Amino acid sequence: MNVAVTERTFGKTGAGPGTRTGPIQIKAKDMDTRQHIVVCDDEPDIRETVGEYLERQGYEISLAESGEALRAILGERNADAVVLDITMPGEDGLSIARSLRATSDVAIVMLTGNAEVVDRIIGLEMGADDYLAKPVDLRELLARLKAVLRRTGKQGAADTAEQDDGHTMIRFGTCRLDLEAHKLFDGDGQEVQITAMEYSLLKVFAEHPNRVLNRDQLLELAHDRSWDPFDRSIDIRISRLRKKIEADASKPQIIRTVRGIGYRFSPDGS
């Protein structure tokens, strides 16, 4: 049976115009080629309406009513993205996002009934890739989801890597980072001098392309044990790196600033 939906809005209290006639049916064919999205919301109407709409757009959909159900799904099969409600009984979406981000690079789009800017920032700092306030237009959700999947979906360090005499080289614009030799080379193949901490930061960016990382995440992932939560030295280190890898350090395209949050690595400056 199908869920009748319209491409309009839904909110925490229920779906927008449309009639739900039964649970969503997932098609078996093309399951290996379609992108897999998990919709996690404690409201059945919203969960099924969003799932049905996205399934109609060609995605494979799984539905979860809680963090526990979400983890059970991810334990059986990887997902390309999670559409995650913030306000749920028990474990809320922020806690779920934080735990997911600690172990996974799955794309996360968070939904909430609170449009406050501070909540949006908190959601992004917990690891979300995008954040929409309810009521959400389903077409906008689809557009945001497509954008997030383009940035994070199947792109990892291997997708920005090249092999050179058995060494893995990660592109940073015209520069290349040699993961085995711990060295950075410019476009002419000349070595660019970098410190051990600068190498660690570049390696972190290489492992998380197109993902926004805040300062604490960067320092923790780079295993800098000396950092202080109020220390702005990370900004100085990023500034120095930009002078070495950017065509114009005053207008960075490779390591971009995401205002109020942190930094994002764009391998080709796109």
104 or 1: whose pLDDT is higher? Answer: 104
CB atoms within 10 A of CB 155: 16
Q: Calculate mean pLDDT across residues 184-212.
A: 89
Which class does domain 9-152 fall in? alpha beta
pLDDT at 40 over 90: yes
Whether this prediction's pTM lies above 0.75 is answered by no
177 or 259: whose pLDDT is higher? Answer: 177
SS3 1: coil
Antiparallel, parallel or unpaired: β 212-214 and 81-85: unpaired
- The predicted-structure confidence for 123-132, as pLDDT tens digits, reads as follows 677 778 888 8
Antiparallel, parallel or unpaired: β 130-133 and 255-258: unpaired
pLDDT at 79 over 70: yes
Under CATH, which number does the domain 157-265 receive? 1.10.10.10
- The predicted-structure confidence for 144-157, as pLDDT tens digits, reads as follows 888 888 776 444 44
Residues 177 and 207 sit within 8 Å (Cβ to Cβ): no
Task: Give residue limits of the domains in the chain.
Answer: 9-152, 157-265
Residues 49 and 18 sit within 8 Å (Cβ to Cβ): yes
- One-letter amino acid for residue 68 of the chain: E
| Sign of the dihedral defined by the CA atoms of residues 179, 166, 103, 55, in that order | positive
- Percent of the chain exceeding pLDDT 90 equals 29
Residue that has been written with the tokens 């998380």 in this structure: 208
Residues 86 and 92 sit within 8 Å (Cβ to Cβ): yes
CA distances from 201 to 47, 61, 210, 219, 264 (A): 38, 35, 14, 8, 12
CB atoms within 10 A of CB 150: 12
- The predicted-structure confidence for 160-197, as pLDDT tens digits, reads as follows 566 666 778 888 988 999 988 999 999 888 999 999 88
Q: Is the peptide bond before 17 cis (omega within 30 degrees of 0)?
A: no
Return d(Cα 270, Cα 255) in angstroms, integer.
11
| Sign of the dihedral defined by the CA atoms of residues 215, 143, 79, 71, in that order | positive
pLDDT at 203 over 60: yes
pLDDT at site 35: 83
pLDDT at site 41: 92
Out of 9-23, 161-175, 201-215, 246-260, give the one with best mean pLDDT. Answer: 246-260
Residue 202: is it exposed, middle or buried by C-beta count within 10 angstroms (0-12/13-18/19+)? buried
SS3 48: helix
- The predicted-structure confidence for 8-19, as pLDDT tens digits, reads as follows 444 543 444 333
pLDDT at site 104: 78
Mean pLDDT of the chain: 78
- Percent of the chain exceeding pLDDT 70 equals 73
Helix ranges (DSSP H) in the chain? 44-56, 67-76, 93-103, 117-125, 138-152, 196-207, 215-221, 233-245
Task: Indicate the pLDDT class of residue 4, thresholds 50, 70 and 90.
Answer: very low
Residue 78 backbone phi and psi in degrees, to 5: -65, 155
